């Protein structure tokens, strides 16, 4: 059986740890700190729940935190810039290295693909003139063309 992306990265505990480390670093980053100044103490946990669900885990975000529409609404009107988006992705990947998240080529290609996709949508939805549809279904992300984790 091919593991889900969430299973491969150590389950929800592994993802929560990554997000805790990441949002601590975000709060100390000059470009991102103003964007996340009002984030709730639960922010890292909620983002981990969302990404965990997308990566094949339990439906925690859908059942407890408002689902995909709520995630989209959190970005609406924030006028995020591409520079902020790039820093967000770069910092998250640095933290993935720091916490020892899987670094096999297969996992990282799937992880980066999702982060590029999701972060670009967040920027689009955050523009003041954006025509946002919040009713899109929860995304589901898998291994893509690499089809599964690295095997020797
Ligand atoms: C794959 C990409 C992304 C995902 C999955 C994601 C997910 C989320 C989720 C689930 C929330 C709501 C958290 C909660 O329920 O408390 C949220 C809020 C937010 N996100 Fe994102 N996000 C992404 C990209 C970005 C990027 C690139 C930025 C900015 C550079 C950003 C800025 C924010 C901000 C400002 C909030 C609201 C924080 C607050 O409550 O004050 N997001 N995001």
ipTM: 0.98
In a domain, 26, yes or no: yes
Q: Does residue 82 fall inside a structural domain?
A: yes
Is residue 31 included in any domain, yes or no?
yes
CA of 47 to the centre of ligand 1 (A): 7
Q: What percent of the chain has pLDDT over 70?
A: 100
Does ligand 1 lie within 6 Å of residue 119's CB atom?
yes
- Write out the residue range of the structural domain in which residue 106 sits: 5-143
46 is in an annotated binding site: yes
- 42, 80, 77, 76: which is closest to 61 by C-alpha? 42
Predicted TM-score (pTM) of the model is 0.98
- pLDDT for 71-113, tens place per residue? 999 999 999 999 999 999 999 999 999 999 999 999 999 999 9
Is residue 149 included in any domain, yes or no? no
- Confidence (pLDDT) at 80: 98
Q: Is 78 in the pocket of ligand 1 (CB under 6 A)?
A: yes
CA distances from 147 to 16, 19, 103 (A): 25, 25, 16
Beta-carbon-side half-sphere exposure of residue 139 (alpha carbons within 13 Å): 15
């Amino acid at each position: 059986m091919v593991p889900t992306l969430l299973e491969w990265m150590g389950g929800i505990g592994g993802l929560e740890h990554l997000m805790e480390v990441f949002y601590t670093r975000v709060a100390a980053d000059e470009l991102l700190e103003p964007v996340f100044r009002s984030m709730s103490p639960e922010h890292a946990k909620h983002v981990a729940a969302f990404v965990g669900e997308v990566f094949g885990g339990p439906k925690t975000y859908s059942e407890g935190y408002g689902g995909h529409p709520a995630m989209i609404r959190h970005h609406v009107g924030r006028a995020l810039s591409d520079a902020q988006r790039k820093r967000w992705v770069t910092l998250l990947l640095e933290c993935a290295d720091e916490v020892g998240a899987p670094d096999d080529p297969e996992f990282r290609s799937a992880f980066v693909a999702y982060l590029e996709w999701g972060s670009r949508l967040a920027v689009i939805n955050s523009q003041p003139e954006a025509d946002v549809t919040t009713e899109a279904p929860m995304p589901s992300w898998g291994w893509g063309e690499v089809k599964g984790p690295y095997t020797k």
